[in-house]
Amino acid sequence: MTARTIATASICLVAAACGGTGAVVVGSGGNGVSSGPNGIASIASSSGSAPAPVTSHTPAKMGVEVWLTRGGKLFPLTRGVTVTKAVIGAAVQALLSGPTRAERARSAVPAGTQLLGISLHGGVATVDLTSDFTAGGSAGSERLRLAQLVYTATQFHGVRGVLLHLDGAPVTALSDGLVLANPMTRRSMGFPELAPAISVTSPQAGATVQAPFTVRGVADVFEAGLTFKLLDASGHELSSGASAASCGTGCPGTFSFTIDELGISHIQDGTLVISSANASGLPDGGEHLRLPLVLLPPFNVTSPQPGATLTTPATIAVSESSAPVVLVRIVDAQLHVLARRVVHDACAGCYGRIGTQSRVRLPFSVAGLQQGYVIVSPLHVTPNSGGQVVEIPG
């Protein structure tokens, strides 16, 4: 079996009571541009993810970056929009709709601003908004809302800049004397000062994740180089690796990487740390981003806890399983199987249903006190086996 598909908890095995071992959990395993109707361009997302096929029943969705604000700085998140030929317009419309309460973000774009149209010529998108866009605020807030618009529109390959129209008329300066670049890009008007060096568009801070999951974001770092590590609730490293942004050293680029497995057996808080090197090549002097997450194992072993003492017969409790049929095993330090039991209907897909779990009692025999493990792994029924449950090979 693969490490991704098991949850393993270290325990103390003994036929009678013994002291705790202090053991810990040991593991578980360039897009094209085409002209759309009304002059609105159709451009594939820079993330490179192909949109889901459109069906006649349910409109397909795709993820786009929407740049909002947090603490007076730009903050990206991913919004799902219906796949249309006017994908730039869909992204800008998502920006104008403002943040949701769950997103814990703000926007400098005034409420009530409406999108009148978008056209694309020579890599420059002309965005026509209602004059509500300039309502209220200082020159600082106006610059921030312009940066939100520019970063949202220029996430797509083929869009390098933005021109602003209000109520159908071109705009070269706002009421507070803020002069607009022609065109506005991510590098103009001090916009880079408003953007973090590393930002993650998905998953969002505090999101619940289960392996495998993909991390996507935007970075403007030295030579586009990035490293990452995922830490468990105790600060132990679960996964690490390297990635790279599509552009760096003076220009923001997108990045993505996938974390294939989590070496945990219990739901817990975790932290994703993404770092860059500086010009000296030393990672300690670079940029760092810490993203809090909730880590979900493939099987949540609620009992026994890591390091617990296990006596015969042992009670194993599994909740919130990722498979309907699982194999529960007790093994010794050399991984010799001491007891095993197949559990059907192991609460598949019941994440979030508190108190719902499957329990199994397993008698075992062991000579003296020693280290051991509880291993939970998925099973499936083969089509021609007459209903026999077999372990998934890895």
Q: Which residues is 106 bridged to in the sheet?
A: 69
**3-state secondary structure (DSSP) of residue 124:** strand
CB 7 within 8 A of CB 298: yes
What pLDDT, on the 0 to 100 scale, is given for residue 130? 97
Question: How far is Cα 40 from Cα 88, in angstroms, rounded to an integer?
Answer: 8
Question: How far is Cα 131 from Cα 116, in angstroms, rounded to an integer?
Answer: 10
Neighbouring residues of 97: CB distance < 8 A, sequence distance ≥ 6: none
Residue of 263, 374, 302, 358 lying closest to 13 (CA atoms): 374
What pLDDT, on the 0 to 100 scale, is given for residue 247? 85
Tokens of 77: 């998140």
CA 63 to chain CA centroid, nearest Å: 12
CB 214 within 8 A of CB 256: yes
The tens-digit pLDDT sequence of the chain (394 residues) is 333 345 556 666 654 333 332 222 222 223 233 333 333 333 233 333 333 444 445 567 788 889 999 888 898 888 888 877 788 999 999 999 999 887 878 999 999 999 999 999 999 999 999 999 999 878 889 999 999 999 999 998 889 999 999 999 999 998 778 899 999 999 899 998 898 889 898 898 888 998 889 999 989 888 899 999 999 998 999 999 999 998 877 777 889 999 988 877 778 999 999 999 776 655 555 788 999 999 988 777 888 887 888 889 988 887 766 667 778 889 888 888 999 988 776 554 444 343 456 788 899 988 888 888 888 877 754 444 443 333 333 2
pTM over 0.85: no
What pLDDT, on the 0 to 100 scale, is given for residue 286? 73
Question: How far is Cα 76 from Cα 61, in angstroms, rounded to an integer?
Answer: 18
Question: How far is Cα 106 from Cα 141, in angstroms, rounded to an integer?
Answer: 12
What pLDDT, on the 0 to 100 scale, is given for residue 376? 81
**Preceding omega of 203 cis (within 30 degrees of 0):** yes
What pLDDT, on the 0 to 100 scale, is given for residue 7? 56
